[in-house]
Amino acid sequence: ENTLQQVDPELADMLCRERERQVSSINLIASENFASEHVFQVLGSELNNKYSEGLPGARYYGGNAVVDEVEQLCKARALAAFRLSEEEWAVNVQPYSGSPANFAVYTALLSPHDRIMGLSLAAGGHLTHGHYTAQRKVSATSVYFESMPYSVDKNTGLIDYVNLRKQALIFRPQLIIAGASAYPRQIDWGSFRQICDEVGAYLMVDMAHISGLIASEQHPSPFSHADVVTTTTHKSLRGPRGGMIFSRKHLERQINNAVFPALQGGPHNATIGALAFQLKQVTSPDFKKYCEHVVANCRALAAYLSGRECSLVSGGTDNHLLLWDVKSEGLSGAKIEKVCEMASIIVNRNAIPTDVSPVSPGGVRLGTCAMTTRGADEGDFERIGSFLLRARDIARQVQSRSGNKLADFCACLSDPDLPEKEALSEL
Ligand code: PLP
Protein backbone atom coordinates (compact mmCIF):
# COMPACT_ATOMS: atom_id res chain seq x y z
CA GLU A 1 0.00 0.00 0.00
CA ASN A 2 1.20 3.52 -0.73
CA THR A 3 2.39 5.55 2.24
CA LEU A 4 0.66 8.68 3.48
CA GLN A 5 3.68 10.57 2.17
CA GLN A 6 2.99 9.21 -1.33
CA VAL A 7 -0.79 9.62 -1.23
CA ASP A 8 -1.01 13.01 0.48
CA PRO A 9 2.42 14.62 0.76
CA GLU A 10 0.94 17.98 1.76
CA LEU A 11 -0.72 16.59 4.90
CA ALA A 12 2.11 14.13 5.60
CA ASP A 13 4.48 17.07 5.67
CA MET A 14 2.31 18.88 8.22
CA LEU A 15 2.23 15.81 10.48
CA CYS A 16 5.96 15.52 10.18
CA ARG A 17 6.47 19.16 11.15
CA GLU A 18 4.08 18.87 14.10
CA ARG A 19 5.93 15.79 15.31
CA GLU A 20 9.22 17.64 15.00
CA ARG A 21 7.76 20.62 16.90
CA GLN A 22 6.55 18.41 19.74
CA VAL A 23 9.85 16.55 19.98
CA SER A 24 12.05 19.63 19.88
CA SER A 25 10.14 21.93 22.24
CA ILE A 26 9.63 22.11 25.99
CA ASN A 27 5.91 21.67 26.58
CA LEU A 28 4.64 23.35 29.73
CA ILE A 29 0.95 23.49 28.76
CA ALA A 30 -0.79 22.24 31.90
CA SER A 31 -3.64 20.54 30.03
CA GLU A 32 -1.45 18.60 27.61
CA ASN A 33 0.44 15.34 27.77
CA PHE A 34 2.06 12.74 25.53
CA ALA A 35 -0.03 9.63 25.02
CA SER A 36 1.81 6.33 24.63
CA GLU A 37 2.42 4.39 21.41
CA HIS A 38 -0.15 1.84 22.60
CA VAL A 39 -2.82 4.50 22.99
CA PHE A 40 -2.05 5.58 19.41
CA GLN A 41 -2.20 1.97 18.27
CA VAL A 42 -5.74 1.48 19.62
CA LEU A 43 -6.82 4.91 18.35
CA GLY A 44 -5.75 3.86 14.86
CA SER A 45 -7.51 0.48 15.05
CA GLU A 46 -10.59 -0.94 13.30
CA LEU A 47 -12.70 0.15 16.29
CA ASN A 48 -12.84 3.46 14.44
CA ASN A 49 -15.06 1.93 11.75
CA LYS A 50 -17.94 0.75 13.92
CA TYR A 51 -21.26 2.41 14.70
CA SER A 52 -22.70 1.47 18.09
CA GLU A 53 -25.34 3.97 19.23
CA GLY A 54 -26.75 2.87 22.56
CA LEU A 55 -25.08 1.04 25.42
CA PRO A 56 -23.41 -2.38 25.68
CA GLY A 57 -26.07 -5.04 25.18
CA ALA A 58 -28.62 -2.48 23.91
CA ARG A 59 -27.33 -1.09 20.61
CA TYR A 60 -29.15 0.31 17.61
CA TYR A 61 -26.77 -1.48 15.20
CA GLY A 62 -25.75 -5.09 14.63
CA GLY A 63 -22.20 -6.34 14.80
CA ASN A 64 -21.36 -4.96 18.21
CA ALA A 65 -20.33 -8.07 20.13
CA VAL A 66 -16.68 -7.04 20.38
CA VAL A 67 -17.38 -3.34 20.79
CA ASP A 68 -19.68 -4.24 23.72
CA GLU A 69 -16.81 -6.08 25.37
CA VAL A 70 -14.46 -3.15 24.83
CA GLU A 71 -16.87 -0.64 26.35
CA GLN A 72 -17.61 -2.91 29.33
CA LEU A 73 -13.90 -3.37 29.91
CA CYS A 74 -13.38 0.38 29.77
CA LYS A 75 -16.18 1.00 32.28
CA ALA A 76 -14.91 -1.65 34.70
CA ARG A 77 -11.39 -0.25 34.50
CA ALA A 78 -12.67 3.32 34.98
CA LEU A 79 -14.37 2.34 38.24
CA ALA A 80 -11.30 0.39 39.35
CA ALA A 81 -8.96 3.29 38.56
CA PHE A 82 -10.82 5.48 41.06
CA ARG A 83 -11.48 2.68 43.56
CA LEU A 84 -15.26 2.80 43.09
CA SER A 85 -17.75 0.01 43.63
CA GLU A 86 -20.28 -0.93 40.98
CA GLU A 87 -23.01 -0.90 43.64
CA GLU A 88 -22.57 2.82 44.33
CA TRP A 89 -21.19 4.32 41.13
CA ALA A 90 -21.91 4.20 37.41
CA VAL A 91 -19.72 5.53 34.63
CA ASN A 92 -20.43 6.64 31.09
CA VAL A 93 -17.32 6.55 28.86
CA GLN A 94 -18.96 7.85 25.69
CA PRO A 95 -18.62 11.67 26.02
CA TYR A 96 -16.57 12.96 23.10
CA SER A 97 -14.58 15.23 25.40
CA GLY A 98 -14.71 17.26 28.61
CA SER A 99 -17.02 20.01 27.37
CA PRO A 100 -19.73 17.64 26.08
CA ALA A 101 -19.43 15.63 29.31
CA ASN A 102 -20.17 18.74 31.36
CA PHE A 103 -23.07 19.77 29.16
CA ALA A 104 -24.50 16.26 29.40
CA VAL A 105 -24.54 16.51 33.20
CA TYR A 106 -26.46 19.79 33.09
CA THR A 107 -28.85 18.33 30.53
CA ALA A 108 -29.41 15.30 32.75
CA LEU A 109 -29.93 17.02 36.08
CA LEU A 110 -31.29 20.48 35.29
CA SER A 111 -34.12 22.17 33.43
CA PRO A 112 -33.45 25.11 31.12
CA HIS A 113 -32.76 28.28 33.17
CA ASP A 114 -31.94 26.41 36.35
CA ARG A 115 -29.12 28.02 38.29
CA ILE A 116 -25.49 26.89 38.35
CA MET A 117 -22.38 28.18 40.12
CA GLY A 118 -18.83 27.55 38.96
CA LEU A 119 -15.41 29.09 39.57
CA SER A 120 -15.10 32.17 37.36
CA LEU A 121 -12.92 31.88 34.28
CA ALA A 122 -10.72 34.71 35.56
CA ALA A 123 -10.10 32.78 38.79
CA GLY A 124 -9.22 29.55 36.98
CA GLY A 125 -12.59 27.98 36.12
CA HIS A 126 -13.53 26.54 32.72
CA LEU A 127 -15.78 28.00 30.02
CA THR A 128 -18.27 25.18 30.51
CA HIS A 129 -18.77 26.13 34.17
CA GLY A 130 -21.20 28.86 33.06
CA HIS A 131 -18.89 31.53 31.65
CA TYR A 132 -20.32 34.83 30.42
CA THR A 133 -19.12 38.41 30.17
CA ALA A 134 -20.87 41.75 30.51
CA GLN A 135 -21.16 41.80 26.71
CA ARG A 136 -22.00 38.23 25.88
CA LYS A 137 -23.17 34.86 27.12
CA VAL A 138 -19.99 33.25 25.88
CA SER A 139 -20.52 29.60 26.81
CA ALA A 140 -23.71 27.73 25.90
CA THR A 141 -23.74 26.73 29.57
CA SER A 142 -24.62 30.36 30.38
CA VAL A 143 -27.14 30.60 27.53
CA TYR A 144 -29.26 27.67 28.68
CA PHE A 145 -28.66 27.99 32.43
CA GLU A 146 -28.47 30.98 34.77
CA SER A 147 -24.95 31.22 36.05
CA MET A 148 -23.38 33.04 38.98
CA PRO A 149 -19.62 32.56 39.28
CA TYR A 150 -17.78 32.35 42.57
CA SER A 151 -14.17 33.36 42.90
CA VAL A 152 -10.93 33.20 44.83
CA ASP A 153 -9.67 35.52 47.53
CA LYS A 154 -7.57 38.08 45.65
CA ASN A 155 -4.92 38.13 48.39
CA THR A 156 -4.47 34.42 48.96
CA GLY A 157 -5.47 33.10 45.52
CA LEU A 158 -7.50 30.40 47.32
CA ILE A 159 -11.16 29.59 46.70
CA ASP A 160 -13.19 31.84 48.97
CA TYR A 161 -15.49 29.25 50.55
CA VAL A 162 -17.06 31.78 52.93
CA ASN A 163 -18.12 34.04 50.11
CA LEU A 164 -19.18 31.08 47.96
CA ARG A 165 -21.53 30.01 50.74
CA LYS A 166 -22.95 33.53 51.08
CA GLN A 167 -23.56 33.73 47.34
CA ALA A 168 -25.11 30.27 47.24
CA LEU A 169 -27.52 31.12 50.06
CA ILE A 170 -28.76 34.07 48.00
CA PHE A 171 -28.64 32.56 44.50
CA ARG A 172 -29.94 29.10 45.52
CA PRO A 173 -28.31 27.15 42.67
CA GLN A 174 -29.55 23.71 41.67
CA LEU A 175 -25.97 22.65 40.93
CA ILE A 176 -22.51 23.76 42.05
CA ILE A 177 -19.40 22.88 40.07
CA ALA A 178 -16.12 22.27 41.88
CA GLY A 179 -13.05 21.97 39.69
CA ALA A 180 -10.78 24.16 37.62
CA SER A 181 -8.45 24.63 34.68
CA ALA A 182 -5.94 26.88 36.41
CA TYR A 183 -6.01 26.36 40.17
CA PRO A 184 -2.68 25.37 41.73
CA ARG A 185 -3.95 24.21 45.13
CA GLN A 186 -5.92 21.31 46.60
CA ILE A 187 -9.67 21.68 46.40
CA ASP A 188 -11.63 21.12 49.59
CA TRP A 189 -14.43 18.87 48.34
CA GLY A 190 -15.96 18.61 51.83
CA SER A 191 -16.62 22.37 52.02
CA PHE A 192 -18.38 22.20 48.66
CA ARG A 193 -20.52 19.30 49.91
CA GLN A 194 -21.57 21.22 53.00
CA ILE A 195 -22.62 24.24 50.96
CA CYS A 196 -24.50 22.05 48.47
CA ASP A 197 -26.35 20.34 51.32
CA GLU A 198 -27.26 23.67 52.85
CA VAL A 199 -28.81 25.00 49.63
CA GLY A 200 -30.08 21.69 48.23
CA ALA A 201 -27.79 21.66 45.18
CA TYR A 202 -26.13 18.82 43.33
CA LEU A 203 -22.35 18.76 43.65
CA MET A 204 -20.67 18.20 40.31
CA VAL A 205 -16.90 17.82 40.43
CA ASP A 206 -14.98 18.48 37.21
CA MET A 207 -11.66 16.78 37.89
CA ALA A 208 -10.42 17.12 34.28
CA HIS A 209 -7.02 18.54 35.18
CA ILE A 210 -6.27 16.41 38.20
CA SER A 211 -7.90 13.05 37.43
CA GLY A 212 -4.51 11.35 37.09
CA LEU A 213 -3.44 12.81 40.43
CA ILE A 214 -6.66 11.63 42.06
CA ALA A 215 -6.32 8.12 40.62
CA SER A 216 -2.78 7.94 42.00
CA GLU A 217 -3.74 9.49 45.35
CA GLN A 218 -1.70 12.66 44.86
CA HIS A 219 -4.86 14.72 45.45
CA PRO A 220 -7.79 13.87 47.76
CA SER A 221 -10.57 12.02 45.98
CA PRO A 222 -13.88 13.83 45.46
CA PHE A 223 -15.96 10.66 45.20
CA SER A 224 -17.20 10.46 48.78
CA HIS A 225 -18.62 14.00 48.43
CA ALA A 226 -19.84 14.40 44.85
CA ASP A 227 -23.08 13.41 43.13
CA VAL A 228 -21.44 13.46 39.72
CA VAL A 229 -17.80 13.62 38.64
CA THR A 230 -16.71 14.53 35.11
CA THR A 231 -13.27 14.35 33.58
CA THR A 232 -11.31 14.59 30.40
CA THR A 233 -9.04 11.65 29.68
CA HIS A 234 -6.06 13.30 28.00
CA LYS A 235 -4.53 15.58 30.64
CA SER A 236 -2.87 14.16 33.77
CA LEU A 237 -4.60 10.83 32.98
CA ARG A 238 -2.44 10.61 29.80
CA GLY A 239 -5.02 8.83 27.64
CA PRO A 240 -6.72 9.58 24.32
CA ARG A 241 -8.79 12.77 23.99
CA GLY A 242 -12.17 12.01 25.49
CA GLY A 243 -14.48 12.41 28.45
CA MET A 244 -16.14 10.38 31.22
CA ILE A 245 -19.01 10.95 33.60
CA PHE A 246 -19.15 9.13 36.93
CA SER A 247 -22.49 9.30 38.71
CA ARG A 248 -24.18 7.95 41.78
CA LYS A 249 -26.17 4.88 40.81
CA HIS A 250 -29.58 6.56 41.09
CA LEU A 251 -28.55 9.17 38.50
CA GLU A 252 -27.18 6.67 35.98
CA ARG A 253 -30.20 6.48 33.69
CA GLN A 254 -30.57 10.28 33.45
CA ILE A 255 -26.87 10.69 32.64
CA ASN A 256 -26.91 7.92 30.04
CA ASN A 257 -29.94 9.42 28.31
CA ALA A 258 -28.37 12.87 28.27
CA VAL A 259 -25.23 11.56 26.56
CA PHE A 260 -27.26 9.52 24.06
CA PRO A 261 -29.75 10.21 22.53
CA ALA A 262 -30.05 13.77 23.89
CA LEU A 263 -26.64 15.14 22.91
CA GLN A 264 -24.51 12.63 21.04
CA GLY A 265 -24.74 9.98 18.36
CA GLY A 266 -22.40 7.04 17.86
CA PRO A 267 -19.64 6.63 20.43
CA HIS A 268 -16.04 6.97 19.29
CA ASN A 269 -15.11 3.35 19.86
CA ALA A 270 -11.42 3.69 19.07
CA THR A 271 -11.20 6.36 21.77
CA ILE A 272 -13.05 4.13 24.23
CA GLY A 273 -10.65 1.27 23.41
CA ALA A 274 -7.61 3.50 23.88
CA LEU A 275 -9.08 4.75 27.15
CA ALA A 276 -9.57 1.16 28.34
CA PHE A 277 -5.88 0.58 27.68
CA GLN A 278 -4.82 3.70 29.57
CA LEU A 279 -7.10 3.04 32.55
CA LYS A 280 -5.27 -0.23 33.09
CA GLN A 281 -1.95 1.63 33.12
CA VAL A 282 -3.39 4.11 35.60
CA THR A 283 -3.61 1.40 38.28
CA SER A 284 0.03 0.37 37.83
CA PRO A 285 2.87 1.30 40.22
CA ASP A 286 4.60 3.07 37.31
CA PHE A 287 1.70 5.49 36.87
CA LYS A 288 1.66 6.23 40.58
CA LYS A 289 5.38 6.98 40.41
CA TYR A 290 4.80 9.15 37.36
CA CYS A 291 2.21 11.26 39.21
CA GLU A 292 4.47 11.60 42.25
CA HIS A 293 7.13 12.99 39.91
CA VAL A 294 4.60 15.35 38.27
CA VAL A 295 3.85 16.91 41.66
CA ALA A 296 7.47 16.91 42.88
CA ASN A 297 8.59 18.53 39.62
CA CYS A 298 5.95 21.21 39.92
CA ARG A 299 7.07 21.95 43.49
CA ALA A 300 10.68 22.17 42.28
CA LEU A 301 9.75 24.64 39.54
CA ALA A 302 7.66 26.68 41.99
CA ALA A 303 10.51 26.74 44.54
CA TYR A 304 13.00 27.77 41.85
CA LEU A 305 10.85 30.67 40.63
CA SER A 306 9.66 31.92 44.00
CA GLY A 307 13.23 31.66 45.33
CA ARG A 308 14.12 34.21 42.65
CA GLU A 309 11.46 36.69 43.61
CA CYS A 310 8.83 35.61 41.12
CA SER A 311 5.32 35.93 42.45
CA LEU A 312 3.19 32.78 42.22
CA VAL A 313 -0.57 32.90 42.69
CA SER A 314 -1.29 31.36 46.13
CA GLY A 315 2.46 31.32 46.77
CA GLY A 316 3.08 27.88 45.27
CA THR A 317 1.46 24.66 44.17
CA ASP A 318 0.00 21.39 45.45
CA ASN A 319 -0.59 19.82 42.05
CA HIS A 320 0.70 19.72 38.47
CA LEU A 321 0.48 23.43 37.66
CA LEU A 322 1.40 26.85 38.88
CA LEU A 323 0.42 30.37 37.95
CA TRP A 324 3.24 32.84 37.56
CA ASP A 325 2.16 36.43 38.10
CA VAL A 326 4.23 38.37 35.54
CA LYS A 327 2.07 41.47 35.80
CA SER A 328 3.74 42.25 39.12
CA GLU A 329 7.03 42.27 37.18
CA GLY A 330 5.67 44.86 34.73
CA LEU A 331 4.97 42.36 31.92
CA SER A 332 1.95 40.55 30.48
CA GLY A 333 1.33 36.83 30.03
CA ALA A 334 1.10 37.25 26.26
CA LYS A 335 4.58 38.74 26.01
CA ILE A 336 6.18 35.91 27.97
CA GLU A 337 4.23 33.42 25.84
CA LYS A 338 5.59 35.00 22.63
CA VAL A 339 9.20 35.15 23.74
CA CYS A 340 9.08 31.60 25.11
CA GLU A 341 7.66 30.29 21.84
CA MET A 342 10.57 31.82 19.93
CA ALA A 343 12.80 29.71 22.17
CA SER A 344 10.63 26.58 21.70
CA ILE A 345 9.18 26.74 25.21
CA ILE A 346 5.43 26.38 24.98
CA VAL A 347 3.36 28.05 27.71
CA ASN A 348 0.03 29.84 27.82
CA ARG A 349 -0.94 33.24 29.12
CA ASN A 350 -3.54 33.01 31.83
CA ALA A 351 -5.71 35.30 33.89
CA ILE A 352 -4.69 35.83 37.51
CA PRO A 353 -7.00 36.93 40.33
CA THR A 354 -5.71 40.51 40.40
CA ASP A 355 -6.33 41.15 36.68
CA VAL A 356 -8.67 44.02 36.01
CA SER A 357 -9.25 43.19 32.35
CA PRO A 358 -9.47 39.73 30.77
CA VAL A 359 -8.05 41.18 27.53
CA SER A 360 -4.47 41.20 28.79
CA PRO A 361 -3.96 38.38 31.29
CA GLY A 362 -1.20 39.05 33.77
CA GLY A 363 -0.16 35.47 34.35
CA VAL A 364 1.45 32.44 32.74
CA ARG A 365 0.25 28.93 33.47
CA LEU A 366 2.98 26.31 33.75
CA GLY A 367 2.31 22.58 34.00
CA THR A 368 4.57 19.58 34.52
CA CYS A 369 2.57 16.61 33.16
CA ALA A 370 3.94 16.58 29.62
CA MET A 371 7.64 17.00 30.36
CA THR A 372 7.47 14.51 33.22
CA THR A 373 6.18 11.96 30.71
CA ARG A 374 9.33 12.71 28.72
CA GLY A 375 11.45 11.91 31.75
CA ALA A 376 12.24 15.38 33.11
CA ASP A 377 13.17 15.41 36.82
CA GLU A 378 13.43 18.12 39.46
CA GLY A 379 16.86 19.24 38.26
CA ASP A 380 15.52 19.54 34.72
CA PHE A 381 12.66 21.67 35.97
CA GLU A 382 15.09 23.97 37.74
CA ARG A 383 16.86 24.41 34.41
CA ILE A 384 13.51 25.04 32.76
CA GLY A 385 12.93 27.65 35.49
CA SER A 386 16.22 29.31 34.54
CA PHE A 387 15.14 29.36 30.86
CA LEU A 388 11.88 31.02 31.87
CA LEU A 389 13.70 33.74 33.79
CA ARG A 390 15.95 34.40 30.81
CA ALA A 391 12.88 34.61 28.59
CA ARG A 392 11.41 37.08 31.07
CA ASP A 393 14.57 39.18 30.96
CA ILE A 394 14.49 39.22 27.16
CA ALA A 395 10.82 40.23 27.25
CA ARG A 396 11.75 43.12 29.55
CA GLN A 397 14.51 44.33 27.23
CA VAL A 398 12.23 44.17 24.19
CA GLN A 399 9.46 45.94 26.08
CA SER A 400 11.81 48.72 27.08
CA ARG A 401 12.20 49.53 23.36
CA SER A 402 8.71 48.71 22.10
CA GLY A 403 6.59 50.22 24.86
CA ASN A 404 3.68 48.42 26.46
CA LYS A 405 1.44 47.62 23.47
CA LEU A 406 1.47 43.93 22.51
CA ALA A 407 1.35 44.65 18.75
CA ASP A 408 4.45 46.89 19.01
CA PHE A 409 6.15 44.29 21.19
CA CYS A 410 5.48 41.56 18.59
CA ALA A 411 6.66 43.82 15.76
CA CYS A 412 9.87 44.43 17.69
CA LEU A 413 10.30 40.69 18.31
CA SER A 414 9.92 39.86 14.62
CA ASP A 415 12.52 42.42 13.58
CA PRO A 416 15.17 40.44 11.64
CA ASP A 417 17.85 42.52 13.39
CA LEU A 418 16.47 41.84 16.88
CA PRO A 419 19.35 42.62 19.29
CA GLU A 420 18.24 39.77 21.60
CA LYS A 421 18.48 37.19 18.79
CA GLU A 422 21.63 35.62 20.15
CA ALA A 423 20.30 35.46 23.69
CA LEU A 424 17.16 33.78 22.34
CA SER A 425 19.05 31.22 20.31
CA GLU A 426 21.21 30.39 23.33
CA LEU A 427 18.07 29.78 25.30
N1 PLP B 1 -13.12 20.97 32.31
C2 PLP B 1 -11.92 21.48 32.66
C3 PLP B 1 -11.63 21.75 34.10
C4 PLP B 1 -10.95 21.72 31.68
O5 PLP B 1 -9.77 22.25 32.03
C6 PLP B 1 -11.27 21.43 30.33
C7 PLP B 1 -10.30 21.67 29.25
O8 PLP B 1 -9.28 22.23 29.35
C9 PLP B 1 -12.54 20.94 30.02
C10 PLP B 1 -13.44 20.71 31.04
C11 PLP B 1 -12.98 20.71 28.61
O12 PLP B 1 -12.36 19.69 28.00
P13 PLP B 1 -12.31 19.58 26.41
O14 PLP B 1 -11.35 20.63 25.95
O15 PLP B 1 -11.85 18.19 26.21
O16 PLP B 1 -13.69 19.80 25.90
In this predicted model, what pLDDT tens digit does every residue of 131-141 receive, in sequence order? 999 899 999 99
Residue 358: is its pLDDT beyond 80? no
359 has a pLDDT exceeding 90:
no
What percent of the chain is predicted at pLDDT more than 70?
Answer: 100
> How many Å apart are CA 368 and CA 236, to the nearest integer?
9
Q: How confident is the model at residue 427 (pLDDT cuts 50, 70, 90)?
A: confident
Q: What is the mean pLDDT of residues 91-113?
A: 98
- Pocket of ligand 1 contains residue 33 by CB under 6 Å: no
The rounded Å distance from CA 8 to ligand 1 centre is: 32
Residue 261 alpha carbon to ligand 1 centre in Å: 22
Given the residues 232, 317, 368, 373, the one annotated as active site: 232
Centre of ligand 1 to C-alpha 208, Å, is 6
Which residue has the least CA distance to atom 10 on ligand 1?
98
Q: What per-residue confidence (pLDDT) applies to 331? A: 96
The answer to whether residue 282 scores a pLDDT higher than 90 is yes
Q: Is 235 a catalytic residue?
A: yes
294-331 in b/e burial notation, b at 16+ Cβ within 10 A? bbbbbbbbbbbbbeeebbbbbebbbbbbbbbbbbebeb
Q: What is the pLDDT of residue 357?
A: 79
CB atoms within 10 A of CB 333: 25
Q: Which residues pair with 147 in a beta bridge?
A: 116
Is 24's pLDDT higher than 90? yes
51 is catalytic: yes
Task: Write down how long the chain is.
Answer: 427
The yes-or-no answer on residue 185 being catalytic is: no
- What is the DSSP pairing of strand 363-367 with strand 348-350? antiparallel
**Given the residues 32, 51, 137, 146, the one annotated as active site:** 51
Q: Mean pLDDT for the chain? A: 96
Strand 26-27 and strand 89-92: the pairing is unpaired
pLDDT score of 251:
98
Ligand 1 atom closest to 207 (CA): 3
* 53: annotated active-site residue: yes
Residue nearest to atom 11 of ligand 1 (CA): 98
Tell whether ligand 1 has an atom less than 6 A from the beta carbon of residue 209. yes
Residue nearest to atom 14 of ligand 1 (CA): 98
Indicate if ligand 1 lies below 6 Å from the C-beta of 118: no
pLDDT reading at 115 higher than 80: yes
Does residue 425 register a pLDDT over 90?
no
pLDDT, one tens digit per residue, over 234-280 is 999 999 999 999 999 999 999 999 999 999 999 999 999 999 999 99
pTM of the predicted protein model:
0.97
Mean pLDDT for the stretch of residues 310-319: 98
Q: 98 C-alpha vs ligand 1 centroid, how far in Å?
A: 5
If you measure from the C-alpha of residue 394 to the centroid of ligand 1, how many angstroms do you get, rounded to a whole number?
Answer: 32
Predicted confidence at residue 353, as pLDDT, reads 92
Q: How far is the CA of 99 from the centre of ligand 1 (A)?
A: 6
Name the closest-CA residue to atom 4, ligand 1.
181
* Position 372 pLDDT exceeds 80: yes
Q: From CA 301, how far away is CA 138, in angstroms rounded?
A: 34
Angle at the Cα of 30 (from 25 to 32), degrees rounded to 5?
65
Q: What is the pLDDT of residue 420?
A: 87
Report yes or no: 200 and 178 within 8 Å, Cβ to Cβ: no
Q: Find the catalytic residue in 137, 165, 241, 421.
A: 241
